[in-house]
Amino acid sequence: MIKNYFLLTSLLLFGFHSFSQESLLDLLVEEERTEYTTASFKTTRIINTQSIENLASGVLDLKISHRFGRVNRGINDFFGLDQATIRLGLDYGITDRLMVGIGRSTVQKAVDGFAKYKMLRQSSGKVDMPISLSWYSNVLVVTQDFPNPERDNEFKHRLFFTHQLLAARKFNSGTSIMLMPTLIHRNLVESTQVDNDVLALGLGGRQKITNRVALTFEYFYVLPNQIDDIYKNSLSLGFDIETGGHVFQLHFTNSLGMMDKQYITETTGDWGAGDIHFGFNISRVFTLKEPKRKPNE
């Protein structure tokens, strides 16, 4: 009996004692929350391809992208820097999940417009979602002269469509990998020997080196027997450098065109032969519309 009292007393006292040593914050049961993964990539593009990132609602992004000539042109062409092709683009975030953009490329004098919608967001905690998933669609209008003027050409023959699923996972704070099953529909092709529809699978990723610098890569594998043998798979390697409101992306790629149908189905450069283009993308964002709940209220 006595023993029991002793036990009870010491238990209660011990309980009280340990309680008074505890941190006050431990008194509150932590509410389980969903933590959404952010910043899987530095910007909305990996190199040529879209990344899983979206612009926040109300943010305008001016993108200036350059690709130079092939480095194997040698010193006479200053390793390709004498020739520059560009794409000027404007992207805008309509909501945090939906962004749209337009652009104009030197290559094929092409005008493009796209929309990208984030369907799933990678998260942990209350809602556990292993990947982020986005849908991307693009229409490209080639405005340069038709290659075969004798043919009965109509406006629709200038149109090219791309549809893409972007499935990305940020494995840790530095490493993100993305898979991109892609369908490209071409209203006009070079010959009846090739398909109008082209399926390709892309793989992209980034590895942070420091907080502000990251290595990036992307590769597109075009499934066999769809396009002419002269075309190569697109491979690009680069790095992202971020300084305040700018992101600089410097890279080497065997593709000259910067739009999906151009680099996925029309890349002629061969890495092995030195047909490599140096290029860069510059991104400058402008916050046109601030979040509704203003932090400085």
Partner 1 sequence: MKYLLTALLTGITALAFAQSKFFTRNGTVTFFSSAPLEDITAKNYSTIAVLDTETGNIEFSALMKSFEFKKALMQEHFNENYVESDKFPKAVFVGSVRNLSMVDFNKDGAYDTEVSGEMTIHGISQRLTAAGQIIKRGERISLQSKFILKPEDYEIKIPDLVRDKIAQEIEVTVKAELEELKR
**CA distances (Å), origin 138, targets 80, 160, 185:** 29, 8, 10
Nearer to partner 1, 25 or 230 (CB): 25
Does residue 175 touch partner 1 according to CB under 8 A? no
Helix (H) or strand (E) holding 264: helix 260-265
Angle at 68 between CA 66 and CA 69, to 5 degrees: 155
Residue from 159, 242, 252, 282 touching partner 1 (CB under 8 A): that is: 242
238 membership: H or E segment, kind and range: strand 234-243
Q: Nearest CA to 91 among 108, 111, 106, 113?
A: 113
Asked if 127 interacts with partner 1 (CB under 8 A), we say: no
- 14 binds partner 1, rule: CB under 8 A: no
Range 199-238, binding partner 1 (CB under 8 A): 211-212
Exposed/middle/buried for residue 29 (C-beta within 10 Å: 0-12, 13-18, 19+): exposed
DSSP β-ladder status, 132-142 and 175-186 = unpaired
Query: Mask: binding to partner 1, 61-100, rule CB under 8 A, as x and -?
Result: ----------------------------------------
Please pick, from the candidates 3, 18, 21, 25, the single residue that binds partner 1 as defined by CB under 8 A.
25
- Between residue 263 and residue 282, which ones bind partner 1 under the rule CB under 8 A? none
Report the residue from 46, 59, 107, 110 that binds partner 1 according to the rule CB under 8 A. 59
Determine the length of the chain.
297
Q: Which residues of this protein are in contact with partner 1, per CB under 8 A?
A: 1, 4-5, 8-9, 12, 15-16, 19-20, 23-25, 27-28, 31, 35, 38-39, 55-56, 59, 172-173, 211-212, 242-245, 285, 287, 290-291, 293-297
